[in-house]
Amino acid sequence: MPEKQKAFTEEMYCVLEVNETHRARTGVSTAEQKFRWRETFEIDIQHATHTNFSHKLCHKGSLKLLEAFVVDRLNGNRMFALNLEPKGQLIVKIAFHNVAAAFRRIVNCRYDGLFGIPLQRLVAREGRETPLILSRLLQEIEHRGIDYSGLYILCGSLEKKRVLREELELNVERARLSVEAVPDTNVLACLVKDFLRELPEPLISTSIYSMIVEAFSVALPNDPQGNRRLLLRVIDCLPAPNKNTLIQIMDHLKLVMSSEQHNGITAARLTGIFGCLLFCSCNAPTESGSTQGQVSSIYPPKTVVNPLDTDQAAQTLRLLVDIWPSRVNGSDSSSSGSASNSTDVTSTINPVSESQC
């Protein structure tokens, strides 16, 4: 940077945007530090809107990711010297992973781990209905307030996320998640997404995914209650840990969307983020014959789903969100409301046992 400009530019940070959407922000660096940032972010490049800068814009530069990675069919790391306007240059390293690479679900070989562990094994080990790590993260996010702008859209620092992840792996019950220990809520939100993305099998298996899509295709526009019962009967075919965890996730998503006027998060944006986390996988369906038989005995599968189609996953989750009961009435978002919603959904599902599917 020219010496003349250093005189009035004492502190700067980098804002990362995708499709003109603010997705991440580095910490502040100074002229004495030679404006060096050593921070890494993992960003999914889907769905965006415009952003506003709260501080003075000193330099800007852009890179066409489509030309840099997709056209040449490149994966992995690439280094770029990004020319800035009105002057300057920023050295950045970008790694691109396509959908198949991002959702290559594998089992974590560490038996006592939290990420990449089969859901049934994890909840059985903890003696809980849903994973403790997921419950703690969601509770802390909700405790801080769902009015937080950019929740699940902005990305936390990879280094800070790694530190918290190691602390959770060490002791999930005692890991500190408070604002004092983890000031950036985006770090918590990123770990929620990582947990769902790294499950060895998607939370909603491909066979159940197909049946959900089929159920929506035969839904009657003048019978919303009947449509809901039909859909929940399909969801009831999920294993109990998956079903309980799905209820927890859906409950949380409905709560986040209830504050759209404050956090700016629309249903389309949130389902675009979580749809692929719940449905997508590059692995071929591995459901046991018994599970497939359970599903087929209710509704024979007719609709073919593509487990790597992120748009189809987002659309399916959007339909699911639209029929899912909300835990809030107006501005009421108390914990009692959460309990009543879970009870309502569970009681609706329970009349059809897994053995009857």
What local confidence, expressed as pLDDT, does residue 249 receive? 98
- 22's enclosing H/E stretch is strand 21-25
Give me the pLDDT at residue 23, please.
74
Which 3 state secondary structure label does DSSP give 98?
coil
pLDDT at res. 251: 96
Domains of the chain: 1-58 (no CATH), 63-97 (no CATH), 102-356 (1.10.555.10)
Residue 312: both structure tokens together: 């189809």
- 357 residues of the chain, pLDDT tens digit each: 444 444 456 787 787 777 666 677 777 878 777 777 777 777 776 543 444 445 567 778 887 776 766 656 666 677 888 888 888 888 888 877 788 888 999 999 888 899 999 999 999 999 999 999 999 999 999 999 999 888 998 888 889 999 999 999 999 999 999 999 999 999 999 999 999 999 999 999 999 999 999 998 888 888 888 888 999 899 999 999 999 999 999 999 999 999 998 888 999 999 999 999 999 998 755 443 334 444 444 444 556 789 999 999 999 999 999 988 876 544 444 343 444 454 455 555 554 444 445
pTM: 0.75
Question: Residue 55's pLDDT is what?
Answer: 54
Confidence at residue 9, expressed as pLDDT on a 0 to 100 scale: 64
User: Would you say the C-alpha torsion 235, 243, 245, 170 has a positive or negative sign?
Assistant: negative
* H/E element, 252: helix 240-257
Phi, psi angles (nearest 5°) of residue 22: -65, 115
CA–CA separation, 238 and 294 (whole Å): 10
pLDDT of residue 90: 82
What is the enclosing helix (H) or strand (E) of 30? strand 29-30
In 10 A of CB 295, how many CB atoms? 21
Query: DSSP 3-state assignment of 229?
Result: helix
Report, in angstroms and rounded to the nearest whole number, the Rg of the chain calculated over CA atoms.
Answer: 22
Q: What pLDDT score was predicted for residue 200? A: 96
Which among 340, 330, 324 is positioned nearest to 224, based on CA atoms?
324
- Residue 121, phi-psi category: left (phi > 0), alpha (psi -120 to 50), beta (remainder): alpha
Spatial distance between the Cα atoms of 82 and 35, rounded to a whole number of angstroms: 15
At residue 326, the pLDDT reads 74
SS3 category, 344: helix
Q: Residue 179 has what DSSP assignment?
A: T
Instruction: State how far the Cα of 256 lies from the Cα of 145, in Å rounded to an integer.
Output: 9
Torsion, Cα 281 284 287 288, to 10 degrees, reads -160
CB-based contact 83:89 (threshold 8 Å) = yes
Inter-residue contact 208 to 298 (CB < 8 Å)? no
Phi, psi of 29 (to 5 degrees): -125, 155
